[in-house]
Structure 1
Amino acid sequence: WYVSRALVVAVSTTVLIALLSELMRLGATLLRSQDQQRTLNAELDHRVKNVLATVCAIIAQTPNSHSTLAEYVAGLDQRIRSLARTHELLSGSQWDGVSLADIVCRELAPYATDHAEIGGPDVTLRAEAAQAIGMVLHELATNAAKYGAFSKPGGRLLLQWRWLLNGSRGRLAIEWQELGGPPVVKPNRCGYGASTIRELIPFELGGTVDLAFASSGLQCQLEIPTDWVRGTLGHATLHET
Structure 2
Amino acid sequence: MTQASPQQRAILEAALDSIIAADHEGRVIEWNSAAERTFGYSKAKALGRDLAELIIPPELREAHRAGMRHFLATGEGPVLGKRIEVEAIDFENRRFPVELAIETINVAGNPRFVAYIRDLTERKAAEAALVDSEQRLSATYQHAFVGISEVDLTGRFLRVNNELCRITGYTSEELFCRTFFDITHPDDRAADLAKFRQQVDGNLGSYTLEKRYIRKDGEEICIELSGSMVRDAENRPLYAVRVVRDITERIRAERQQALLVNELNHRVKNTLGMVQSIVSQTLRAYRDPAQASKEISQRLAALSRAHDVLTRARWESASLTEVVDEALEPYADFRERFILSGPSVLIPPPVCLSFAMAMQELVTNAMKYGALSAPEGKIAITWNLEDNRSRLRFEWREVGGPPVSPPTRRGFGTRLLQAGIASETQGSIALTFAPGGLEYQFEVPLDA
TM bucket normalised to smaller: 0.7 to 0.9
Secondary structure (helix, strand or coil) at the match of 2:293 reads helix
Q: Which amino acid aligns with 2:357?
A: M
**Structure 2: distance between partners of 1:150 and 1:26:** 62
Instruction: Please say if 1:2 is aligned against 2:127.
Output: yes
Counterpart position of 1:47: 267
| Alignment gaps of 5+ in structure 1 | 229-241
Which structure is larger by alpha-carbon Rg, 1 or 2?
2
The 8 Å contact of residues 404 and 435 in structure 2, kept in 1 or not, is answered as yes
Q: Which is helix-richer, 1 or 2? A: 1
Q: Which moved more, 1:62-71 or 1:208-217?
A: 62-71
Counterpart position of 1:15: 140
Instruction: Please say if 1:222 is aligned against 2:442.
Output: yes
Counterpart position of 2:292: 72
**Structure 1: distance between partners of 2:295 and 2:284:** 11
**Structure 2: distance between partners of 1:152 and 1:54:** 32
Q: 1:87-126 to 2 correspondence within 5 Å?
A: 87-111=307-331, 112-126=334-348
**Structure 2: distance between partners of 1:103 and 1:199:** 21
> Judging changes above 3 Å, is the alpha-carbon distance between structure 1 residues 169 and 38 closer, same or farther for their aligned structure 2 residues?
closer
Secondary structure (helix, strand or coil) at the match of 2:386 reads strand
**Structure 2: distance between partners of 1:82 and 1:222:** 18
> Judging changes above 3 Å, is the alpha-carbon distance between structure 1 residues 36 and 162 closer, same or farther for their aligned structure 2 residues?
closer
Secondary structure (helix, strand or coil) at the match of 1:86 reads helix
The 8 Å contact of residues 201 and 224 in structure 1, kept in 2 or not, is answered as no
**Structure 2: distance between partners of 1:195 and 1:62:** 12
Deviations 1:139-179 (CA, angstroms, capped at 9, x unpaired):
111111111111121111011111334xx885311111111
Instruction: Please say if 1:141 is aligned against 2:363.
Output: yes
The number of residue pairs the alignment matches comes to 226
What is the percentage of aligned positions where both structures have the same residue? 34
**CA-atom RMSD in angstroms:** 2.3
Q: Which moved more, 1:132-141 or 1:80-89?
A: 132-141
Q: CA deviation at 1:13?
A: 4.9
The 8 Å contact of residues 429 and 441 in structure 2, kept in 1 or not, is answered as yes
**Structure 2: distance between partners of 1:187 and 1:174:** 23
Deviations 1:172-207 (CA, angstroms, capped at 9, x unpaired):
111111111122132111111000000123201221
The 8 Å contact of residues 281 and 412 in structure 2, kept in 1 or not, is answered as yes
Deviations 1:59-84 (CA, angstroms, capped at 9, x unpaired):
12112322311111111111111011
**Structure 2: distance between partners of 1:194 and 1:149:** 17
Counterpart position of 2:384: 162
> Judging changes above 3 Å, is the alpha-carbon distance between structure 1 residues 67 and 33 closer, same or farther for their aligned structure 2 residues?
same
Deviations 1:66-106 (CA, angstroms, capped at 9, x unpaired):
23111111111111110110110010011121111111112
Q: Which amino acid aligns with 2:341?
A: G
Q: CA deviation at 1:225?
A: 1.5
Q: Which amino acid aligns with 1:172?
A: L
**Structure 2: distance between partners of 1:169 and 1:89:** 22
**Structure 1: distance between partners of 2:389 and 2:308:** 31
**Structure 1: distance between partners of 2:249 and 2:417:** 47
Higher relative contact order (CA 8 A, sep 6+): 1
Q: CA deviation at 1:49?
A: 1.6
Q: CA deviation at 1:26?
A: 7.4
Counterpart position of 1:130: 352
Instruction: Specify which of 51, 63, 69 is matched with residue 283 of structure 2.
Output: 63
Counterpart position of 1:176: 396
- Relative to the length of structure 1, the TM-score reads 0.84
Q: Which is strand-richer, 1 or 2? A: 2
Q: Which amino acid aligns with 1:8?
A: S
